[in-house]
Structure 1
Amino acid sequence: MDEKYPVEKEVSGIEATLGVSFAKKPNSRFFVTFGLIVLVVFFGGFALWSTLAPIESAAIASGKVVVTGNRRTIQHLEGGIVQRINVRDGENVHKGQLLISLENTQSQAAFKLTQGELYRLMSIEARLSSERDNAKSITFDEKLEQAANTDPKVKALMNSQETIFKTNQASFLGNISILEQQIIQLQEQIKGAQSQLKSTIRQYNLIQEEVAAVKELAEKRLIEKPKLLELQRSAARLQGIRGETVSKIAVLNQKIGETKTKIHTMKADRLKEILSQLRESHQRIADLMKKEIIEGDVLKRTEIRSPQNGTIVDMKVHTIGGVIKSGEPLMDIVPEEQLVIDARISPMDIDIVHKGLIAKVDLIAFKTRNTPTLEGKVISVSADSFTDETTGELYYKAKIELDESQLSNLSKAQELYPGMPVQVMVITDNRTLFSYLTTPVIDSFGRAFREQ
């Protein structure tokens, strides 16, 4: 029996299995060999690829395009009458741009009235403070100085208080000067009385010496006694004058003291009155400042301005002269801020989706095949689940930040808008096909061996 080669044995086995004979056809051995090689290469390559080539594992989620700053509804606190409409639906606006002007006659009148009274009291307070400090001129508040540069009425208030300051100062200083002059006059009278007292004392001392000499002569009867009595009467008269002069000096000193007390009382009463007026003006100014802020805010709100850059949508005000109710929505502004994807993650995938994962976003709103898949990154995942009010389905919120460099790949016709639907694939793992096929089997074996 002839010994066959291994390939011939395999061919014989295949012939027996399939019930055919390759020996009848010419060159059949070549084709069989080639086919076997192809099968080996194919299955071997497939096995190698399944164990080495990675396949991305992803959590699929639906979502939509949103902006990081939410859509803002423009409302007015007090309401009012529309005076001017400066924008229209779909118009792009910038932060601070005037949108709608309301009638401001009443609010402006109330604000001006309060501000005028405030400026008046501030000018009075400045005068009182200068009078309290005995200053030579008034130092006005910087706010008043600035207002006076543009408002003649404020300048007139300041001039009026300067006039009152000078008048009060002149009157007060004049009264003080009169009393001080009286003190000077009393002091001069005291000087005169003191000189008179000294003279009287000298005369009295001389007469006393003369009385002693005459008395000695009278005792010796060298002169008549009436001469002695006359000298004694003169001495007594001088002593009386001295007493009157001393008393007069005391009265004059008392008057000086009373006048000084009067000056002190005048200054104290004036200061007391000034401080009382200052306290009153302080309180009224504080109240008016609060009122000015409130009324100024009301006046400022008659000009409705955009709080942010964005686009006007859903505008509801179209009539000049129309009435806006308090708190009534006027329009919405969609902000021009960074676009992100708001995705709904299934509770089944929440254990594998977390912050930092890469996500691929398909723009399903565009039907063209040329729409690229955008890449982004998960920047947040909600800590708790939410319920869809329509379907009752549970989901977790995930925000995905798009890569700015990839947005440039979109054409003008593929511009992103808030609210646009998308499909998100959050890449959770890279595994091989072999791992996909064997993991369930391995897990089943693991559970089976753990069962009791």
Structure 2
Amino acid sequence: MAHRRPITVTPKGFVVALAVCVLALLIWSCFMPIARIVRGDGRVVPSGHSQIVQHLEGGIISQIRVREGEQVRRGDVLVRVQDTQASAARSADESKMAYLRVKMSRLQAEAQDGPMVLADGTEKDSPLIRSEIEAFEARRTQAERQRSVMKEELAQKNSEIAVARTRLSSLQGEIAIAQSQLRLITGLVAQKAASSLESLEAQSRVQRLSSAIQETQAELVKLGGAAKEAQARIAEYDARRRSEASAELATSQLEFSRTEQELRSQSDRLERTEVRSPVDGIVNHVYINTIGGVVKPGEPIVELTPIDDSVLIEGRIRPSDRGEIRAGLPVKIRFSAYDYAALGTLAGTVEEVSADTIADAHGDRFYRMSVRVLAKTQAHGKFAKPVVPGMTAVLDVVVGERTAMQYLLSPAFRFYESAFREAR
């Protein structure tokens, strides 16, 4: 059985291996880039200002739907306020509008002298609506009766005109015969075949017939004028009735528009009885905590801190690091509330750096830096967590890249820069 020879490391081999490792390390340190960061700390602040939710009219609190610290969505009901007066006013306006619709239908029918057409869904059993329907029927019956009387008067005048025309035609026939007889008798008198008395009687008859014709013609003129007046009265009655209905319709339409505006106002007021959140946010403070309590018009009810898809972090950096920081630099964000080793970091960008330093309560000066988080739940770890105002974070601003060799030699360069300088 062959025996394995033990591996021996000669001093020369060890030196070669060590040289190779050192050379590889030097090559890595000279060419492998490492991110340069400036570290600061910060706190998540709302991207929008806190909002105070108020009630325009005020009233009695009937329900409180939120608690302090609760997160709400835009449109969520925060508080309900009683408003019995607005509810009663809206019901009254709705009834009035239903009545006015029927009234306008009646007036429209009267103005156009047509049938009354009601809208679909009209409650005909309502007393007010039924009264309008009955009023339409009564007014139409009265108008037909009045028109019938005037038409009978017109028909009477037309009948009298027809009689007078018949009588005139008869008189004209009689006078034609009488005139023929007068001419015949006048000839006989000239021949002394008839007496003068017969001639006078013939002339008298012609004269009477002529007078009767003139009277009948005058009567026809009078009757014609009376018939025209009767016809005009009918037309005037119809026109006046339509005009009155049109004028009343215009008034009702104005009243309907005014009532509709009032109803809209009352509906808006009733909608405001549900005090809703104007934004997505967190409830900071509830000013009213008593059911049945009274809130005055414009009095604060709830204070909200808005939250949205973007998160703003207000950070602090040392004055010595200010030269490295500028807007647009990427930032790696680690929140103290979460284990960044498991969850990863969030990405952000520098939005703004203050123009001058600011002193804190201890007198330490710093620059304020605003960092915008690109997405508040976009993490590179295993899962994401929500970010809310008030959380603290460590901010690593990536200001550039350096190799490991540059990191190692930078103290020597700084020493060289400061050494061998003659003091003045």
Instruction: Classify the secondary structure of the residue corresponding to 1:314.
Output: strand
Matches within 5 A, 1:118-137: 118-137=97-116
Q: Which amino acid aligns with 1:353?
A: A
The alpha-carbon distance between structure 1 residues 393 and 289, as it changes in their structure 2 partners (threshold 3 A), is farther
Match of 1:314 among 282, 285, 300: 285
Q: Pick one of 159, 166, 169 that aligns with 1:195.
A: 166
SS in 1 for 2:159: helix
Query: 1:70, 1:410 → 2: CA distance?
Result: 29
1:274 corresponds in structure 2 to 245
Query: Any gaps of 5 or more consecutive residues in structure 1?
Result: 1-28, 446-452
Match of 1:406?
379
Aligned equivalents of 1:270, 1:386: Cα separation in 2: 84
Counterpart code for 1:401: L
List per-residue Cα deviations over 1:297-319 (Å, max 9, x = no partner).
22332233445666544333222
Aligned to 1:360: 332
Counterpart contact for 2:80–2:274, Cα < 8 Å: yes
Partner-residue secondary structure (3-state), 1:406:
coil
Q: Check 1:58–1:243 CA distance in 2 against 1; reply closer, same or farther (3 A cut).
A: farther
How far the C-alpha of 1:41 sits from its partner, in A, is 3.8
The structural deviation recorded for 1:210 is 0.8
CA contact (8 A) 1:341 1:402 kept: no
Q: What is the aligned counterpart of 2:56 among 69, 77, 82? A: 77
1:162 aligns with 2:141: no
Asked if 1:259 is matched to 2:233, the reply is no
Count of aligned positions: 398
CA distance in 1 between counterparts of 2:255 and 2:49 reads 43
Alignment partner, residue 230 of structure 1: 201
- Aligned: 1:381 with 2:354: no
Alpha-carbon distance in structure 2 between the residues aligned to 1:386 and 1:323? 48
Q: CA RMSD in A?
A: 3.9
> What secondary structure sits across from 1:282 in the alignment?
helix
Letter in 1 for 2:196: K
Per the TM alignment, residue 371 of structure 1 is displaced from its structure 2 partner at its CA by 4.6
Shift of 1:213: 0.6
Q: TM-score, normalised by structure 2?
A: 0.78
8 Å contact kept, 2:344–2:381: no
Aligned mates of 2:149, 2:195 — CA distance in 1: 58
Check 1:82–1:418 CA distance in 2 against 1; reply closer, same or farther (3 A cut): same
Question: Is residue 88 of structure 2 the alignment partner of residue 109 of structure 1?
Answer: yes
- Describe the SS at the equivalent of 2:346: strand
Contact 1:93 1:306 (8 Å CA) reproduced: yes
Matched to 1:50, the amino acid is: S
Q: Which amino acid aligns with 2:26?
A: A
Residue type of the partner of 1:168?
R
Paired residue type of 1:381: E
Distance apart, 1:406 and its partner CA: 2.5
Distance between the aligned counterparts of 1:328 and 1:386, measured in 2?
A: 39
Q: Structure 2, unaligned stretches of length 5 or more?
A: 1-8, 418-424
Q: Cα offset for 1:243?
A: 0.9
Q: Show the counterpart of 1:177.
A: 148
Amino acid at match of 2:56: L
Residue aligned with 2:53, SS: strand
| Structure 1 counterpart of 2:18 | 38
User: Offset at 1:276?
Assistant: 2.6
Structure 2 counterpart of 1:12: none
Equivalent residue for 1:240? Answer: 211
Q: Which amino acid in the other structure matches residue 18 of structure 2?
A: V
Describe how 1:20-39 pairs up with structure 2 within 5 A: 31=11, 34-35=14-15, 38-39=18-19
Question: Alpha carbons of 1:81 and 1:246: their partners in 2 closer, same or farther (altered >3 Å)?
Answer: same
Matches of 1:235 and 1:345, distance apart in 2 = 134
1:404 Cα shift?
A: 4.3
Normalising by structure 1, what TM-score? 0.74
3-state SS of paired residue (2:395): strand
1-side partners of 2:380 and 2:44: how far apart? 13
Return 166-175 or 426-435, whichever deviates more: 426-435
Deviation, 1:254, is 0.8
Asked if 1 retains the 8 angstrom alpha-carbon contact of 2:68 and 2:284, the reply is yes
1:362 partner SS: strand
CA contact (8 A) 1:350 1:396 kept: no
* CA displacement at 1:200 relative to structure 2: 0.8
CA contact (8 A) 1:59 1:353 kept: no
Q: CA deviation at 1:390?
A: 6.2
| Structure-2 change in CA distance of 1:162 and 1:59 (3 Å) | farther
Change beyond 3 A, Cα 1:294–1:370 = same
The answer to whether the Cα contact below 8 Å between 1:385 and 1:396 also exists between their aligned partners in 2 is no
* Structure 1 residue 100 corresponds to structure 2 residue 83: no
CA positional deviation for 1:51: 3.3
Q: Distance in 1 between the 2:354 and 2:228 partners?
A: 88
- Asked if 2 retains the 8 angstrom alpha-carbon contact of 1:138 and 1:162, the reply is no
Q: Which residue of 1 aligns with 2:36?
A: 57
Identity of aligned residues (%): 23
